[in-house]
Amino acid sequence: MRAGQPATSERVGSRAPCTRALCGWSPPSLAARTSMAAAVDRLLVGYAPAVVLVGSIVALFEIAGFLPQRAGLGLDLVAGIIGGSWCSLNFWRCRHAHCVVTGGGWLAFSVLVLIEVVIGHSLIQGYEQPAFIAILGAGLLFEAGWYARRRTNAVLSVERRPPSR
């Protein structure tokens, strides 16, 4: 960020999707040019939605342990869909590098768990929850490497400049 530049993007009629929260961890925002983008921004913005998301996933995993195997796998499936969807939408709006890995990884995880729900047993010996956490770890390692190399955790460029003449 340049000196004097605001911490969030300025847009008319909508709030910025990604503030420079978490000690500057979030990349600069993209402008919401469609009503769908603005709706996603309202869903993703702030600490409260993130706390609700993480709390929901933890609760689903905790409850899954007390249920019969197929029902527990069903809750693991819901957690994977929630996490994968959240990170995929977050990548679309904020371009966090880890979301490339976690969004796609958790959605792929959800396909595996859906198959497990259909057949009624685990194909990875009950390690669905550690696999979910491993995907998170892989995403964070990817982002750390991305940041170390490029000094930004945003995968795409912040602004599109016209070609110089």
In the chain, where the domains are located: 46-150
pTM (two decimals): 0.77
Model confidence at 94: pLDDT above 50:
yes
Residue 12 is predicted with a pLDDT of 35
Q: Which two tokens stand for residue 6?
A: 């605001």
Count CB-CB contacts under 10 A for residue 78: 16
Residues 6+ apart with CB under 8 A from 4: none
